[in-house]
A and B are shown apart, each in its own frame.
Chain A
Amino acid sequence: MFKVLRDLLRYNREFLFGSLLIAIILAVVVASYFAPYDEMMTYAVIPDMPPGSEYWLGTNSRGQDMFWQLAASMRNTLIFGIVVALISRVIAIAVGLISGYVGGKTDQAIMAFNDTLGALPNIPILLLLVFVLRDQMTWPVLALTAALLGWTHDSRLIRSVALSLRTREFTRHAAFSGMRTTQILLREHLPYVMPIVFFTTMNNLIWAIGLEVTLSILGFSDINRPTIGGMIYWANAHSAMVAGIWWWIAVPMVAVVMLFIGLFLLAMSVNEYIDPRSRLARMGA
Chain B
Amino acid sequence: MTEVLDFKPAVTQAQDVLTIRDLKAYYVNDMFGVRREVRAVDGISLTVRRNEVYGIAGESSSGKTSLIKTLAGAIRPPMRVVDGSVNFSFGDTHIDVYAEPEKMKAARWQNLSYIMQGSMSVLNPVRRIKHAFNDFAFRHMGLDRRAFRQRVESHLQKLGLDPNVLEAFPHQLSGGMRQRVTIALATVCEPEFIIADEPTTALDVLVQQDVLGLLKEVQARLGSSVVFVTHDMSVHAAITDRLAIMYAGRLAEEGPTQAMFDNPQHPYTAHLIASLPRIGDVSTRKSLAGKPPSLANPPSGCRFHPRCPIAIDRCSKEVPEMLPSAIGGRVACFRAGEVAVK
Contact = CB atoms under 8 A, between A and B. Distances in A.
B121 A178 contact: no
A192 B109 contact: no
Given A168-B121, A169-B119, A174 B136 contact: yes
A177 B114 CA distance: 9
A176 B124 CA distance: 15
Interface string A21-47: 000000000000000000000000000
A188 B109 contact: no
Contacts of A179: 135-136
Contacts of B114: 173, 176
Interface in B174-232: none
B140 interface: yes
A48 B105 CA distance: 76
Contact of B109 (A178, A183, A191, A194): A178
> Which of the listed residues B109, B119, B124, B127 has the most CB atoms from chain A within 10 Å of its own CB?
B124
Contact of B140 (A169, A172, A178, A187): A178
A170 B129 CA distance: 12
A177 B124 CA distance: 14
A100 B117 CA distance: 23
A173 B127 contact: no
B322 interface: no
A187 B135 contact: yes
B201 to A, nearest CB: 13
Contacts of B122: 169-170, 173
Given A187-B131, A191-B127, A177 B137 contact: yes
A176 B109 CA distance: 8
Contacts of A176: 72, 74, 108, 114, 116
Contact of B116 (A172, A187, A191): A172
Interface string B134-145: 011101100000
Contacts of B124: 170, 188, 191-192
B109 A177 contact: yes
Q: Which of A169, A174, A191, A192 has the most CB of B within 10 A?
A: A169
Given A191-B126, A191-B127, A174 B119 contact: no
A177 B74 contact: no
Contacts of B309: none
Given A177-B109, A177-B135, A177-B136, A169 B126 contact: no
Given A176-B72, A187-B131, A191-B127, A169 B139 contact: no
Of residues B114, B122, B140, which shows the largest number of chain A Cβ atoms within 10 Å of its Cβ?
B122
A50 to B, nearest CB: 55
Given A178-B109, A191-B126, A192-B124, A169 B118 contact: yes
B270 interface: no
Contacts of B137: 177
Interface in B113-162: 114, 116-119, 121-127, 131-132, 135-137, 139-140
Contacts of B125: 192
Nearest to B131: A187
A117 B136 CA distance: 38
Contacts of B74: 172, 175-176
Interface in A156-174: 168-170, 172-174
B117, B123, B135 interface centre (most CB from chain A within 10 Å)? B135
A54 B105 CA distance: 75
B105 to A, nearest CB: 6
A24 to B, nearest CB: 34
A80 B5 CA distance: 56
A178 B127 contact: no
A192 B123 CA distance: 12
B135 A169 contact: no
Contacts of A170: 121-124, 132
Contact of A178 (B72, B116, B139): B139
Interface in A250-285: none
Contacts of A177: 108-109, 135-137, 140
A97 to B, nearest CB: 14
Interface in A64-95: none
Contacts of A175: 74
Given A169-B118, A178-B105, A188-B135, 5 more contacts: A174-B136, A176-B72, A188-B124, A188-B127, A192-B124
Closest 3 CB pairs of A and B: A177-B136, A169-B121, A170-B124
16 contacts: A169-B122, A170-B121, A170-B124, A173-B116, A175-B74, A177-B135, A179-B135, A183-B135, A187-B135, A188-B124, A191-B124, A191-B126, A191-B127, A192-B124, A192-B125, A194-B126
